[in-house]
Structure 1
Amino acid sequence: MRFTRTLALAATAAAAISLGAGIPAAVAAPTDVDSGAPSYQEFASSTYRDVDGGYVVNGDELISSQTDLRAFYDRLIGLDTPTDGLIVNTVNGADDKWSASQVGNLTYCVSTKFGTRHDDVVAAMQSGAALWESASSKIDFVHVSSADSSCTTRNKSVLFSVEPVNTSQYIARAFFPSSPDRQMNVLVDDSIWSSGAWTPTNIIGHELGHTLGFRHEHTRPESGTCFEDSNWRPLTPYDSSSIMHYPQCNGTSGDLSMTSTDRAGVVALYGN
């Protein structure tokens, strides 16, 4: 299937869903690009550049450099989609996942710059992480509270940081295991506390799904909209209610809760 639907969505990913490896604030309508895809220069200039220099596409997914952005663009306008719940990101055909030893020690800090919301973010991280940890005993997110006062990507005592951001482009955004160290952070906007049916637990849960390597479920052809790219491998049958499926993209769950199919996909990738 030639890409004909959402190159424009990828370019305006910051406005896609209010979550973000980010949840955006509102999803742009799918666009048919058969009649004339934007040039790479047009695509790049309209793609949101985040506070750490990366590019945010697909609502909340991070691309690290201009070289990677060009490769992403080329895939969007030229590749077919796979025809097969949960899907894992791939890099050069290999699963984008943590090693068995690392996935059991996913250390993080929560910045004290969240101020009075610090404890709330700590709680949301713990409950969001528990969604994945309960699916597989191999997964363990570990809060290193001693690092909270100097919680940035430069802090080498943790694998990743959780930091506040002030943006209207997304509610939160994360990273994939293959992301460079300088972009291994989960950024959270204050709008996470006013996102209606999307609870902070489920929003953070969605983002932590990206940190484990899981892609947006709605990039599958079964969704019928919001196609992103073909760099993924199916782990389960399509799940329109997946925690990784934007409700705005023909999803059937309004609250981003985790499903039994999601849990099966976690086990398929990381084990029981």
Structure 2
Amino acid sequence: MQRSRLGAIALASSALLGAALASPAIAATETGTTVPTYQEFKAATYQDADNQYIVNGDEPAGTNADLRTFYDRLVGQDSLNEGLIVNTVGGADDKWSTAQVGNLTYCVSNKFGTRKADIVNAMNGGAGLWEAASSRINFVYVPSQDASCTTRNNNVLFSVEPVQTSQYIARAFFPSSPKRSRNVLVDDSIWTSGSWTPSNILGHELGHTLGFRHEHTRPEAGTCFEDNNWRPLTPYDSASIMHYPQCNGSSSNLSMTATDRQGAAALYGA
């Protein structure tokens, strides 16, 4: 990303440069061409006794999220191309076609036993989060296929099946995954995950099925890096449903944010 815009803005608008913005990180931009990263900007911004960030000398920016909004506004539109991210394969977005994203069919295995109805409800709740973000996204439950709900069932796009593992609570796939890998596997620990509700956990997994990557692979997270095979869609969102709380995430419950909804609309249309 180009990092020269903030320097130009700082020079053009001296009124914007209050005491807090005249920090070492920002001051360098007034004579040079290097714009500080958000993390550099945050580290150089004064935080008062109430843990509020202060900008423009005496204006509270509030929380980390508020400070990020201020930074994005100061930097300009260049920074708005960062954030909720889509997986890429060979440099191309890993996404469904317009026709397919409106018909994402799935079954729920009878092997869930007494928990099957709970999984059906959780899947419906998780799917509804993304469907509310873009009217083009439509997950379609096909109960008639539940008796043979495996990746070999070609009557549905993917299957939802139980698994016993200590490695994860649930796992999913990307649109580019071959049919043999198109399943959402769910461990029993989904019922004992504290503030992570089953609907939000499956909402996270369904985000992957739409092509969205973990938000914490972005450098702003400072940890849990995975790889660089992604394209940014919206501003970095530490509270994203796609951001693990344990990877410097700011949300404890995997709930969906306004930025998540913007990302879905950016990729598939509102």
Normalized against structure 2, the TM-score is what?
0.70
Match of 2:127 among 122, 126, 129: 129
Find the aligned partners of 2:130 and 2:160 in 1 and give their Cα distance. 17
Q: For residue 152 of structure 2, what is the aligned residue in structure 1? A: 154
Asked if 2 retains the 8 angstrom alpha-carbon contact of 1:85 and 1:242, the reply is no
Structure 1 counterpart of 2:140, from 139, 142, 148: 142
Q: Partner letter of residue 199 of structure 2?
A: T
Equivalent residue for 2:252, pick from 251, 254, 257:
254
Runs of 4+ in 1 over 2 A off after TM superposition: none
Q: How far off is 1:215 after superposition?
A: 0.1
Query: Residue 185 of structure 1 is aligned with which of 164, 183, 202?
Result: 183
Between the aligned partners of 2:164 and 2:82, the Cα distance in structure 1 is 38
Instruction: Name the counterpart of 2:169.
Output: 171
Match of 2:202 in 1: 204
Gaps of 5+ in 1: 1-82
- 8 Å CA contact 1:240–1:250 kept in 2: the answer is yes
Distance 1:84 1:119 in 2: 38
What is the Cα-based RMSD across aligned positions, in Å? 0.8
- 3-state SS, counterpart of residue 187 of structure 1: strand
- The offset of 1:255, in angstroms, is 0.1
CA distance in 1, matches of 2:121, 2:253: 18
Percent of aligned positions with the same letter in both sequences?
78
Does structure 2 conserve the Cα–Cα contact (< 8 Å) formed by 1:163 and 1:188? yes
Distance 2:203 2:148 in 1: 24
Give ranges in structure 2 of 5+ residues lacking alignment: 1-80
Aligned residues: 190
Corresponding residue of 2:66: none
For 1:62-101, what aligned pairs fall within 5 Å after superposition? 84-101=82-99
Is the CA contact (8 Å cut-off) linking 1:173 and 1:207 kept in structure 2? yes
Higher Cα Rg: structure 1 or 2?
Answer: 2
Residues in 1 aligned to 2:151 and 2:162: alpha-carbon distance in whole angstroms: 13
Task: Report what 1:243 is aligned to.
Answer: 241
CA contact (8 A) 1:85 1:262 kept: no
Q: Following the alignment from structure 1 to structure 2, what is the Cα–Cα distance between the partners of residues 259 and 85?
A: 12
Measured in 1, the distance between the counterparts of 2:83 and 2:204 equals: 13
Provide, for residues 25-82 of structure 1, a one-character-per-residue CA deviation record: whole Å limited to 9, x for no partner.
Answer: xxxxxxxxxxxxxxxxxxxxxxxxxxxxxxxxxxxxxxxxxxxxxxxxxxxxxxxxxx
Greater relative CO (CA pairs within 8 A, separation 6+): 1
TM-score by length of 1: 0.69
